Chains A and B, each alone.
Chain A
């Protein structure tokens, strides 16, 4: 099967499941599909840095959490009608998703710019450790940030709104998340083939070559890292909205690890990798998690099998091209 078909089939499956659930009146399944879509979006962001850029970031939970807190902070001010004071300015909170998304994207992109600018001066294991360290900084900051719930996190009473939709209806919120995921995957797919993706991919494989043709691997990778962080941040805002809750757990290193696991399960650098990884993850979490507390051990076993026997993840298995990207 060609990679394009795998991608389309995965998207079709994600779309069909909640539509079936709607007909069968199984709202919880719609929520599961929404969760999968949002995690897939977060992992698609990571996949741009990790897969296409070759940047193993163990700090992407920072962007996920920043997006989550952007939503939590704006919405909590809106629901208490207390304006947010930013130094000399006072701005009102908001329950509007488009505004929240823009803030989430801007804040996580800014954080990614700062973290990336410093981390990309290192490579390999050092890069992993320094991104982990930055992630932990944000985690500990959030746990001690009393104004916004500290360790307990922050609850939102009503889901935020989107013009023209009733986001409280599960299928409508799913549709919104699915559309955003589709856009992100489309962007990633275009980017891989565009000059930027070509240069970024070359910077991963042969940085000396990229320099020798007059391009800066550092700048290419920094741009990829910022784009990656922004997409993961947007996913964070949606995730918090799905749960109507944000807490430091979204910023934990376990969250970063989980995103990496999703990408590896599905297929590093493969367009549909994050989606398939997230789908499998949510399904396992639901079925195995209901049967045993130790479902993570099963997930670990699957991950081990994939890493050992299927280097291109599930997408690689399906396309029969574990060693090359489509």
Chain B
């Protein structure tokens, strides 16, 4: 296998007595979607927080494109090429859709210190933002306030902002959360397309989407990876069926 874009080794995180991550290791190879599934409270978001630098791990390392970024903060990791979407949308609600996307382009270009010229007159940033909005199908809503968007449109915008970073890897926390059947299908098609741009570490509850998208799946239960494999392997894995899929498989 090619050199992994993202490589996580031995991540461990305790909240008091609770072990939210226990010796978690996984890789994200170029061009793949690596899904992480697991029951509620399994530690999926905590894992993402450690990968992206918002939660400091107690032990373990994170490497991005071969470089150890464990000591870097979240902003530095984003600049290094890690683009994250949130389980609960984190967007500037009073701003427009375009402004949120332009913020991503400004961040990626490292140019927030301009005080005089309007952000929306920065042609490069606006072009990047508009391309990302078109990609996720939000270009008709560029001028809408985020507060006026539907839940599904906000999920799309989360992905668009991540796209403006032109990242080396996407890290997505439940992008389908709260989407209807139509929304899920649209998001599934989008992610299937995006993985050619950069590989995706995908935390997701929607099993149809995971089985349709994932090249590999890791199953997280109580902070531990109990299995990693292809869709077929995970479907066939007895321990996984008992611990997790057993609910509905």
A29 to B171, alpha carbons, bound, how many Å?
62
Which of A196, A197, A212 touches B90 (beta carbons < 8 Å)?
A212
A102 nearest CB across to chain B (Å): 19
- Contact yes or no, A205 B94, CB < 8 A: yes
CB contact under 8 A between A214 and B103, given known A205-B93, A206-B92, A209-B90: no
Number of interface residues of B (CB under 8 A): 43
Residues in B with CB closer than 8 Å to A199 are 103, 106-107, 112
B14 nearest CB across to chain A (Å): 22
Residues in B with CB closer than 8 Å to A201 are 92, 94-95
Q: Is B201 an interface residue (CB 8 A)?
A: no
- Contact yes or no, B75 A214, CB < 8 A: yes
Q: Is B120 an interface residue (CB 8 A)?
A: yes
Residues in B with CB closer than 8 Å to A191 are 115-116
- Contact yes or no, B106 A209, CB < 8 A: no
Q: Is B165 an interface residue (CB 8 A)?
A: yes
Residues of B211-244 whose CB lies within 8 A of A: none
- Contact yes or no, B116 A190, CB < 8 A: yes
Residues of B150-167 whose CB lies within 8 A of A: 161-162, 164-165
Residues in B with CB closer than 8 Å to A213 are 78, 103-104, 106-108, 161, 164-165
CB contact under 8 A between A214 and B54, given known A198-B99, A201-B92, A209-B92: no
Against A, the Cβ 8 Å flags (1 = close, 0 = not) of B104-118 are: 101110111111111
Q: Is A194 an interface residue (CB 8 A)?
A: yes
> For chain A, what secondary structure do more than half of its interface residues adopt (helix, strand, loop), or is it mixed?
helix
Residues in B with CB closer than 8 Å to A196 are 112-115
Q: Is A210 an interface residue (CB 8 A)?
A: yes
**Residue of A193, A194, A220 with highest tally of chain B CB at under 10 A:** A194
Which of B86, B99, B100, B118 touches A208 (beta carbons < 8 Å)?
B86
B104 nearest CB across to chain A (Å): 5
- Contact yes or no, B94 A220, CB < 8 A: no
Residues in A with CB closer than 8 Å to B145 are 324
A216 to B106, alpha carbons, bound, how many Å?
12
Residues in A with CB closer than 8 Å to B161 are 209, 212-213
- Contact yes or no, A195 B95, CB < 8 A: no
A214 to B165, alpha carbons, bound, how many Å?
9
Against A, the Cβ 8 Å flags (1 = close, 0 = not) of B48-86 are: 000010100000000000000000011110110001101
- Contact yes or no, B107 A215, CB < 8 A: yes
Q: Is A325 an interface residue (CB 8 A)?
A: yes
Against A, the Cβ 8 Å flags (1 = close, 0 = not) of B164-178 are: 110000000000000
Q: Is B122 an interface residue (CB 8 A)?
A: yes
A127 to B110, alpha carbons, bound, how many Å?
28
Residues in B with CB closer than 8 Å to A303 are none
CB nearest neighbor in B for A187 = B115
Q: Is A211 an interface residue (CB 8 A)?
A: yes
CB nearest neighbor in A for B107 = A213
Q: Is A84 an interface residue (CB 8 A)?
A: no
30 residue pairs from A and B, CB less than 8 Å apart = A187-B115, A191-B115, A191-B116, A195-B106, A195-B119, A195-B122, A196-B114, A197-B115, A198-B95, A198-B99, A198-B119, A199-B103, A202-B103, A205-B91, A205-B93, A206-B91, A206-B93, A208-B86, A208-B90, A209-B90, A209-B92, A210-B107, A211-B78, A212-B52, A213-B161, A214-B75, A214-B110, A215-B107, A220-B112, A325-B94
Q: Which 9 A-B pairs have the closest CB atoms?
A: A213-B107, A214-B78, A214-B79, A202-B92, A193-B118, A199-B112, A214-B107, A205-B92, A211-B74
Knowing that A195-B122, A205-B93 are A-B contacts, what are 5 other residue pairs whose CB atoms are under 8 Å apart, sorted by A's residue number?
A: A190-B116, A194-B116, A195-B106, A208-B86, A214-B75
A-side residues, CB < 8 A to B, are 187, 190-191, 193-199, 201-202, 205-206, 208-216, 220, 223, 324-325
